[in-house]
Structure 1
Amino acid sequence: MNSNRLQSLDALRGFDMFFIMGLSGLITALCALAPCGFTEELALQMKHVEWDGLRHHDTIFPLFLFLAGVSFPFSYARQREMGASSAKIYWKIVRRGIVLVLLGMVYNGLFKLDFDSLRCASVLGRIGLAWMFAALLFVSCGVKARVAISVTILIGYALLIKFVGAPDVEGADPLSMQGNLVGYIDRLFMPGRLIYDGGRFDPEGLLSTLPAVVTAMLGMFTGELIRLPEQRLSGNRKCHYMVGAAVVLALVAIVFDGFVPVNKMLWSSTFVCAVGAYSLAMMALFYYIVDVRGWRSWTLPFRVVGMNSITIYLAQRIINFGGISTFFFGGVAKLCPEQWATVVHSVGYLLVSWLFLYFLYRKKVFLKV
């Protein structure tokens, strides 16, 4: 493994992906063993909110997009050091965005060739487009211009979804699932199937990709900060700046939540600020522990996942990890009471998925897009 690689980034990405790999299900199963107010609330954090609000499960996707942004200043600097031309860098950015959109469609069943029911919007597609536009801005604009663009997007998007509703739904709240402009734009222009409200809304649609670009840009600002030479800014000071920015974003989200609520489905501007605060705080924590203090040995389980994050996301759609887990752990689960059997199945699924990635890690097989 490259010794110059930012190990805190891989570790945090792996920590984030662990919840998608089955950690959320395991925590929920463990909470069911000891029901009380705390465990009920903890289990609730492993589920998405239905509309307005924020739980931990709602932070997984935007944190991943944020981390994709953090990594770009490092890869961009490497490309420049290797003498890559601007045209080549622009092409690689656009190609990666297109590939992620296509992989998202593959994840949603592109190869079934049932185009009427195919969902074209996807998590990977959102990452691909948001990261692509943010990266193009990174290459083309200076820091001040990108800050101005980010603020303009957040303010403009907040005003747009607050005051402009769907013209085809008379009298509905512009911030409701039925009456929002985001769904209306998708109904007009998004091909394929929309997955909510009877095929009238999709959380990874076209218009809401715009504020997601800011999520990726927040990651790129953070990556630029971390890349600064130690002589110019110490690791401790970098952490202070990240925490300070997290506090500011959290306050903005709290203050303006009454104007435009924190809402993952709409990727509202307050949602961008709230998850940006969480992402910065987590990045500061991992960067301080792993890269500033140098405490790295404990991160191996996370880095194994973080270095092949897109692989495991796609593999869970293709490989029957649940069936493999049942093959090895089903007998033990049958011997357990029902609630403990759920825990055994959850542990088995997580272990089988991780061992698959560990095998790839040992063989130095990493999917790069």
Structure 2
Amino acid sequence: MNNLSTTTSIRLASLDILRGFDLFLLVFFQPVFVALGQKMNLPFIDDILYQFDHEQWIGFRFWDLVMPLFLFMTGAAMPFSFSKYRVDKNKRPIYRRIVKRVVLLFLFGMIVQGNLLGLDPKHIYFYTNTLQAIAIGYLIAAVIQLHLSFRWQMGATLLLLLIYWIPMTFGGDFTPQGNFAEQVDQVVLGRFRDGVSWKEDGTWAFSPGYTYTWIWSSLTFGVTVMLGAFAGKIMKEGGDDRRRVVQKLLIIGLLLVGMAWLWSFQMPVIKRIWTGSMTLLSGGFCFLLMGLFYYWIDYKGRSLGLNWLKIYGMNSITAYLLGEVINFRCVVGSLSYGLQPYLGDYYSVWLSFGNYLIVFFILRAMYKQRIFWKI
């Protein structure tokens, strides 16, 4: 499996380009644009910047789509990479690869956000990162796809939503501290949960400001990956009639958005706990984006000006780790400190831009040499 990419002879450019678009937003455009926007005194900029941050609780902003799209694209590649294993009675080789990927993604997640490199046991967090959400969603989706027919895959996906919904509806409320998923995380993760604060006497407490949940939300992570897998199946099996593929992707996307809106009256759209309505809403947007990219790139064959996004899309894990873990600002500062008097307050913007530009050049060099990090 090639870094969340397809590895079969049937490779759709839209998969790599859409994934690359997602990673470009994450490890270049958003941090640089936000840094620049915060320095600009323009009357409309705050409204734009608002969309490039996460919603605090109920609601959905543009930036809330980035993580679901990452999970969705993981699922979209699975029908291509799993096709030869479904008919193989011996599933041990594929499960070895699945377990390896899950373990590595969990470790990478702990490096990015779990403070693993801090070497401080008091501040190591087990499950708190996008890569770990991908790992669990991928594991759930892999088991479903390897052992169930398409009809039963649909049923299993609906069952995941049902299992998530029951205790969330009847075992708590939808407040930050009162929801069932929060209770599960506190019990299961304990002091290894992100947001834990330590006191001088050696005791610890959960921070009321940390409202993300992971354990119970793993069920809906799996649903998001499965929605991507259903999109991948549509594209894989509909290659002879690509116009029909576009229609299916767009129609399903609109239906999911409509269903999410109806469900939101009972279960609010809350990205931080990955509610069922948020899962369908973000999944619907992902279907619509996939349909648009598939239409323009694979159906119309118009990828000119977009192929550079493969630099990010075909090395997505590398891009994420470089962008989130390694700070190249010191390199930029060492080489361009003379610009500080001329740039003034915008010097910090230059440091941010230079940091992510270095990430881009590293990824570009890997792409040119056909080096794709496999996990």
Shift of residue 330 of structure 1?
4.4
**Match 2:293 to one of 275, 286, 290:** 286
Secondary structure class of the residue paired with 1:176? coil
CA pair 275-334 structure 1, distance change in 2 beyond 3 A: farther
Residue 370 of structure 2 is matched in structure 1 by 364
Asked if the contact 1:193/1:199 (under 8 Å) is kept, the reply is: no
Deviates more, 1:219-228 or 1:122-131: 122-131
Residue 185 of structure 2 is matched in structure 1 by 186
Residue 110 of structure 2 is matched in structure 1 by 105
CA pair 278-114 structure 1, distance change in 2 beyond 3 A: same
Secondary structure class of the residue paired with 1:298? coil
Q: What CA deviation, in whole Å up to 9, does each residue of 1:108-157 have, x standing for no partner?
A: 23244322320111221111011111111011111111112222322342
Asked if the contact 2:256/2:280 (under 8 Å) is kept, the reply is: yes
CA pair 261-222 structure 1, distance change in 2 beyond 3 A: same
User: Distance between the aligned counterparts of 1:125 and 1:207, measured in 2?
Assistant: 13
Kindly indicate whether residue 80 of structure 2 is the aligned counterpart of residue 55 of structure 1: no
Taking the TM superposition and a 5 Å limit, the aligned residue runs for 1:8-157 are: 8-32=14-38, 33=40, 35-37=42-44, 39-78=45-84, 85-107=90-112, 108-121=114-127, 122-157=129-164
Q: Which runs of 5+ in 1 are unaligned?
A: 166-173
Asked if the contact 2:105/2:131 (under 8 Å) is kept, the reply is: yes
Residue 200 of structure 2 is matched in structure 1 by none
Residue 169 of structure 1 is matched in structure 2 by none
Shift of residue 26 of structure 1?
2.6
Residue 203 of structure 1 is matched in structure 2 by 212
Residue 202 of structure 2 is matched in structure 1 by none
Kindly indicate whether residue 242 of structure 2 is the aligned counterpart of residue 243 of structure 1: no
Secondary structure class of the residue paired with 1:59? helix
CA pair 244-124 structure 1, distance change in 2 beyond 3 A: same
CA pair 99-84 structure 1, distance change in 2 beyond 3 A: farther
Shift of residue 181 of structure 1?
1.2
Q: What amino acid is aligned across from residue 214 of structure 1 in structure 2? A: V
Kindly indicate whether residue 357 of structure 2 is the aligned counterpart of residue 351 of structure 1: yes
Shift of residue 250 of structure 1?
0.6
Shift of residue 43 of structure 1?
0.8
Residue 277 of structure 1 is matched in structure 2 by 284
Shift of residue 4 of structure 1?
4.1
CA pair 126-157 structure 1, distance change in 2 beyond 3 A: same
Q: What amino acid is aligned across from residue 318 of structure 2 in structure 1? A: T
Secondary structure class of the residue paired with 1:261? coil
Shift of residue 266 of structure 1?
0.8
User: Distance between the aligned counterparts of 1:351 and 1:256, measured in 2?
Assistant: 42
Q: What CA deviation, in whole Å up to 9, does each residue of 1:197-240 have, x standing for no partner?
A: 86256625211111110000000001111001533xx1111111
Asked if the contact 2:75/2:228 (under 8 Å) is kept, the reply is: yes
User: Distance between the aligned counterparts of 1:283 and 1:229, measured in 2?
Assistant: 14
Q: What amino acid is aligned across from residue 259 of structure 1 in structure 2? A: Q
Deviates more, 1:324-333 or 1:256-265: 324-333
User: Distance between the aligned counterparts of 2:349 and 2:364, measured in 1?
Assistant: 22
Given the two structures, how large is their TM-score scaled by the length of structure 1?
0.89
Shift of residue 257 of structure 1?
1.3
Asked if the contact 1:100/1:125 (under 8 Å) is kept, the reply is: yes
Residue 218 of structure 1 is matched in structure 2 by 227
User: Distance between the aligned counterparts of 2:355 and 2:306, measured in 1?
Assistant: 20
Q: What CA deviation, in whole Å up to 9, does each residue of 1:229-274 have, x standing for no partner?
A: 533xx11111111110110111111112121111111100011011
Residue 171 of structure 1 is matched in structure 2 by none
User: Distance between the aligned counterparts of 1:235 and 1:141, measured in 2?
Assistant: 26
CA pair 31-116 structure 1, distance change in 2 beyond 3 A: closer
Residue 227 of structure 1 is matched in structure 2 by 236
User: Distance between the aligned counterparts of 1:141 and 1:2, measured in 2?
Assistant: 21
Asked if the contact 1:26/1:346 (under 8 Å) is kept, the reply is: yes
Secondary structure class of the residue paired with 1:294? coil
Asked if the contact 2:238/2:244 (under 8 Å) is kept, the reply is: no
- Identical columns (%): 28
User: Distance between the aligned counterparts of 2:74 and 2:333, measured in 1?
Assistant: 34
Q: CA RMSD in A?
A: 2.4
Asked if the contact 2:271/2:278 (under 8 Å) is kept, the reply is: yes
